[in-house]
Amino acid sequence: MNEIVNPIQLNELIETIRIAVRRRDYAGGELEIAKAMRDHPHSPIPHNLMGILFVSQQEQLIALKHFRAAAALDPTYLPARCNLELCASMNAQGSFAYSVSDCREVSSNPWTILYDEKGIGHVVRRKTSC
């Protein structure tokens, strides 16, 4: 009853949710994901998909909770990390990752934190070699 035993079922779920979001069938998508959460309680995939469903409904805070849950269940699951970063970003650009194939290359962070003599951190743009 987990993703190792039946990965085809979770891949079908990913495609089902893609279609549900495209059609704006959020209630139907939520039912499918809830069933998958019950059947695969230790898989990050249903939580990642639930996050995408909530982002599509402009519910960013709830979506963040699901992306965090997915990342906590499997810290190596790239779509959850990409979506968490995209959802938490102030200037989010791009689309959310349903699966690993949807993840775009993560660009290096152009910001760094510099601490002054009082120990206060300041966010500044990294210096580039160009």
Residues 17-25: what's their mean pLDDT? 95
Angle, vertex CA 85, rays to CA 32 and CA 26, nearest 5: 25
Could you give the CA distance from residue 80 to residue 73 in angstroms, rounded to a whole number?
10
Domains of the chain by range and CATH? 7-125 (1.25.40.10)
Whole-structure pTM value: 0.74
Helix, strand, coil distribution of the chain in percent, nearest 5: 55, 10, 40
- Give the Cα separation of 87 and 99 in Å (integer): 16
d(CA 85, CA 21): 20
Q: If you average pLDDT over every residue of the chain, what do you get?
A: 85
Q: Note the helical H segments in 40-77.
A: 45-56, 60-73
pLDDT band at 37 (very low <50, low <70, confident <90, very high): very high
Query: pLDDT tens across 70-120, in order?
Result: 999 999 899 999 999 888 876 666 788 999 888 865 555 677 788 899 989
